[in-house]
Amino acid sequence: MTNLCLKMNQAAIIPVLMVIVFVQGQVPPFKETCVTNAYPPSEKSHLVPTYVLNLDLPPTQRWQNLAKDKGSQIKTLLKKFIEFAEDFGNGTVNTIINYLNKQGDSMDTTLPQPYADEMRGIATASGLGLGEVIIYNLFYEVFTVCTSIVAEDNAGKLFHARNLDFGLFLGWDIKNHTWEITEALRPMILNVDYQKGGKTVFKAVHYAGYIGILTAIKPGVFTLSMNERFDLNGGFIGIIEWILGLRSGQWMGFLTRDTLLYSNSYEEAKKNLTMTQMLAPAYFIVGGNSTGQGCVITRDRNKAVDVWNMADAGKWYILETNYDHWKSPLFIDDRRTPANRCMQNMTQNNVGWPGIFNVLSSKPVLNKLTTYTALMQVDAGTLETWLQYCPDPCWPF
């Protein structure tokens, strides 16, 4: 679910979910088997390519080539975003979209640098208006559903992996059993190697055109992923405040980029992600470079409401989906229980990319919304991203 869904009448949501459940022929709780031998995928074409972003360039030029290459796809995807948002009939969403479409070209002064100039550069290179680029970026701030894991092997080496699920309620195709937005997003996924002076500063997974960060690694220092947190005081409220001139909250994707650029330790990253006011609530999952350094930071818009450390969990791993760890997940969206079961079946002896990739490839952790699985190992500084597809029968979210 998304913050948008929380504003919808629950009586309207449940029938939609039940129709999808009926079509798929699946009812929770799930009895799926934990898969084995999923890594590496047999389809090498599913390995996401890498794009180098030169931070020494002026911000307006950094994304220029990518925006030119993907401009038509960004336009098509933005059109779909807006169509599906308007189909909800949600007055708040429509008001935001209409305002940004009308006022967007004069709003670069309201955005922090260098992000304002980066968006301006994308707009120029792709042929979109600045308001459209802002709308496109805002969708990624509030529409992600995910599973993130930090795990430690017997030698104390830390691995961080995540599934990014995107597109819930955005165009269910009854015939093909797919989400239209999810399918359109996969060709937009790429790894970005952020460099200064020809050297890597950090690496991240991006949807082309989105300049914030949801998944990233600062080699040798820490790893980071963001999962959406559902809260009534959610992202749309923060966005409206931002539009009305209240700028105390930071965009989530800008906060994560700043953290990767300026934080030089696991503890610095934790502090920054814990204290900074944001537009939207979130879960930040952070992994360090030393034994026991893994945590889930549960955020409201103003501050952390909980920091759950791997040591506090009493495990060799820590796992987060989209629900507060001290509460039960929604019964029709319980990815947590099967993910924990598969992790325990894997055991610490098998911590590594193959084992964790198997967990993230097991249904319903893998579902129809899953666009990619990213694998990070902090000591080696490696980031590997694979497009993911869930064959039928498969839970829709």
Residues 16 and 88 in one domain: no
Distance CA(211)–CA(182), nearest Å, equals 19
**Residue at a domain's end among 139, 170, 194:** 139
Mean pLDDT across the stretch 285-304? 95
Looking at residue 264, its pLDDT comes to: 98
Do residues 128 and 239 lie in contact, with contact meaning Cβ atoms separated by under 8 Å? no
Residues 6+ apart with CB under 8 A from 327: none
Residues 16 and 78 in one domain: no
**pLDDT class of 5 with cuts at 50, 70, 90:** very low
Residues 21 and 111 in one domain: no
**Residue 394: inside a domain:** no
**Residue 392: inside a domain:** no
Mean pLDDT across the stretch 161-177? 83
Residues 38 and 73 in one domain: no
Residues 18 and 134 in one domain: no
Looking at residue 112, its pLDDT comes to: 87
Closest CA to 345 of 107, 36, 18, 63: 36
Residues 124 and 198 in one domain: no
Instruction: Among 26-35, 49-58, 95-104, name the most confident range.
Output: 49-58
Residue-range definition of the domain harbouring residue 28? 3-50+147-387
Strand partners, 206: 190
Do residues 181 and 170 lie in contact, with contact meaning Cβ atoms separated by under 8 Å? yes
**pLDDT class of 79 with cuts at 50, 70, 90:** confident
Number of domains in the chain: 2
Query: What CA–CA distances, in Å, run from 145 to 176, 220, 230?
Result: 21, 27, 10
Mean pLDDT across the stretch 18-27? 48
Residues 187 and 62 in one domain: no
- Sign of CA pseudo-dihedral 348, 351, 354, 359: positive
Closest CA to 210 of 378, 67, 381: 67
Distance CA(226)–CA(143), nearest Å, equals 12
Looking at residue 377, its pLDDT comes to: 98
Looking at residue 179, its pLDDT comes to: 87
Residues 38 and 134 in one domain: no
Residues 155 and 218 in one domain: yes
Distance CA(146)–CA(287), nearest Å, equals 16
162 vs 1, more confident = 162
**Residue at a domain's end among 84, 119, 139:** 139
**Residue 393: inside a domain:** no
Residues 197 and 85 in one domain: no
Is the per-residue pLDDT at 236 higher than 60?
Answer: no
CATH number of 14's domain: 3.60.60.10
Residues 189 and 317 in one domain: yes
Distance CA(251)–CA(8), nearest Å, equals 24
Antiparallel, parallel or unpaired: β 189-196 and 50-54: parallel
**Residue 374: inside a domain:** yes
Do residues 295 and 308 lie in contact, with contact meaning Cβ atoms separated by under 8 Å? yes
Collapsing DSSP to helix, strand or coil, 23 comes out as helix
Strand partners, 147: 163
Is the per-residue pLDDT at 267 higher than 90?
Answer: yes
**Residue 11: inside a domain:** yes
Residues 186 and 244 in one domain: yes
Rounded to the nearest 10 degrees, what angle do helices 130-142 and 115-126 cross at? 120
- pTM, full prediction: 0.90
**pLDDT class of 249 with cuts at 50, 70, 90:** low
Looking at residue 142, its pLDDT comes to: 67
| Active site residue ranges | 146
Looking at residue 246, its pLDDT comes to: 64
Is the per-residue pLDDT at 243 higher than 90?
Answer: no
**Residue at a domain's end among 139, 166, 200:** 139
**Residue 395: inside a domain:** no
**Residue 194: inside a domain:** yes
Instruction: Among 76-80, 191-195, 388-392, name the most confident range.
Output: 191-195
**Residue 219: inside a domain:** yes
Residues 6+ apart with CB under 8 A from 154: 348, 349, 351
